[in-house]
Structure 1
Amino acid sequence: MLYSNFSEFNEICRALGLKDVTITKLQNAKKLQLLDTPLKNGSVAYVEAKKMLSDINIPKRAYIFVREEDSYEYKFSAIIVKKPSFVFWSLYEFLERAKKLHSKSIINPNCVIGNNTSISKTGVIIEDDVIIDDNVIIKEGVVIKKGTKIGPGCVIGSNGLEVKDTIFGKIIISHKGGVVINENVEMGALCTINQGIGEKMTQIGSDTKLDCGVHIAHSCSIGSENIITANVTFGGSVLTGSNVFFGLNATIRNGVKLADGCFVGAGSVVTKDVKKNALVFGCPAKFIRKVE
């Protein structure tokens, strides 16, 4: 079920104008899910336009919020509403606000923690031989694995910027998907690593090195042994392979995938997927040559 307190759940659903038969369906659903991950039976998602369905495999027992004016044959359980995005994100925010982490943070005694550093008392795991410099903020839902070094002034596990119209107003959606920083990552000063959104956590692969001022947005998956120089910005849900190099001040658009061995030139704006061992440069970035 989506939420154990039926009366509270019914109240928010009725405030959204949902009918009793729809509320019953949602009570029996398993989870809300975004379309950037494979849908499963019992999941609830939404589409704003018919064309969004063309590249999506939707199980028959998935529930999809769709616009009432769309007239096509449904091969799944459609829930017709006026504003699919509004209804979905309203329910999403309601459920996220209800989540509470009760597990006490676990910090290995072999860690070194600097002055004026703030670590959440709940939901954090820090393994052995981690070094955390001064003035770092670590929010709940963060896992930092052994041998990692965090530079001064970093913020790890902060909310991302996903702004949606909801029943609560036009808000920044809650991010509670977590952050995992794998073994032997090194992070320079003033980096920001956002929480994942939904079930898609933010991850940084082992032995990756970040210079100062790097921003990694929600649900990115950064591969192992990447080198990320100063002030590189990653939009949400970027996926990188291993041994990828990012030059100074590069910007990677949300959802872009970069294969193993890529090289992104300084100041480049990457708006499309990059193939294995490709050197790209420019604004927008274009293929220059293969990396030897």
Structure 2
Amino acid sequence: MRLSELDFGKLEKEGEFDWLGLTAEDYKGKKVLTFLNDEKYYKEIENNKSITCIVTTEEVAKKIEKDKYGIILSKNPRKAFFELHNKLVQEDFYFTKKENRISEKAIISEKANIGKYNIIIEDNVIIEAGVTIYENVTIKKDSIIRSGTTIGGNGFEFSRFEDEVLSIAFAGDVLIEENVEIQNNTCVDRGVFDRTYLGKNVKVDNLVHIAHDVKIGDNTLVVACTLIGGRTKIGKNSYLGPNCTIKNGLILGENSKVSMGAVVTKNVKDNEVVTGNFAIPHEQFIKNLKKM
């Protein structure tokens, strides 16, 4: 799609895009239209090779290298961007509707709810009663989805504009790799613009919330009542203890461990163990405890 085809704003420089997205996320293989309200985030755009077009203000546009990007001007770039996104979701801009591909070797309860299109379920997948699988979900072979779990539903994404709250439509998907097990009454949201991803051999306990666009690396264990905020990235072989909370947008390194009940508000390094509210390195937490 070309910027000149849009029905808002003022065209500053022509450009083409085939996806919408955020400055801090990478969308490999896509030509991405994003928005820029403040020039301080321009560095994120420069570092993001996916972005080809920008919705921005006349003032901020003066700071942008116009030979690199298509530009369209708006008095409220963020609102214009999300309203366009919602419109494009309704027009099936992001996905073509295709028939489900469900293996005859999959074991699916008659009491499971399976969406009408863009669902792939491979060999030996087990889906128990009361599971809901929405559209745009892929579940690879030998995975198990226990009763009451919901996969691929819309998450919590809203934008406030003065007295108006705009509900943001979801255009992403969910990919669950081989030999994943998700136990009872867990929620896995689909991505807003990108993908929610569970790597090979990931095991998820009961009553876990995995928000939109979360990426969980291979062999990670997620224990009961954990909450993982949107766009969080978790490295392989990690462990999230019972009742822990992970702030949205964080990066947890490989082999990291989050202790029971921890509230994580900062990135966690490879091989690091964090404890407490707010979570700090476990050894430091114990030292602080001994001083009390």
Both proteins in one fold, TM over 0.5: yes
2:78 pairs, out of 79, 85, 88, with 85
2:65 pairs, out of 68, 71, 75, with 75
Gaps of 5+ in 1: none
Is contact 1:181–1:203 with CA below 8 Å preserved after alignment? Answer: yes
Identify the residue that residue 194 of structure 1 maps to in structure 2.
189
1:271 pairs, out of 255, 262, 265, with 265
Identify the residue that residue 148 of structure 2 maps to in structure 1.
153
Is 1:36 equivalent to 2:24 in the alignment? yes
Identify the residue that residue 126 of structure 1 maps to in structure 2.
121
Identify the residue that residue 284 of structure 1 maps to in structure 2.
278
Is contact 2:241–2:259 with CA below 8 Å preserved after alignment? Answer: yes
Is contact 1:265–1:280 with CA below 8 Å preserved after alignment? Answer: yes
Gaps of 5+ in 2: 285-292
Identify the residue that residue 46 of structure 2 maps to in structure 1.
57
- Helix, strand or coil: the match of 2:81? helix
Q: How does 1:220-235 map to 2 (within 5 A)?
A: 220-235=214-229
Distance 2:113 2:51 in 1: 44
Q: Normalization by structure 1: what TM-score?
A: 0.86
Is contact 1:146–1:182 with CA below 8 Å preserved after alignment? Answer: yes
- The number of residue pairs the alignment matches comes to 275
Distance 1:60 1:131 in 2: 37
| Aligned sequence identity (%) | 31
Once the two structures are superposed, what CA deviation does each residue of 1:29-62 show, in whole Å capped at 9, x if it has no partner? Answer: 4432211224789532111212111344167983
Distance 1:216 1:164 in 2: 20
Q: 1:176 to 1:81 in 2, by over 3 A?
A: closer
Distance 2:239 2:85 in 1: 36
Alignment RMSD, CA only?
2.6
Offset, 1:218: 0.8
Is contact 1:2–1:31 with CA below 8 Å preserved after alignment? Answer: no
Which range is displaced more, 107-116 or 62-71? Answer: 62-71
Q: Normalization by structure 2: what TM-score?
A: 0.86
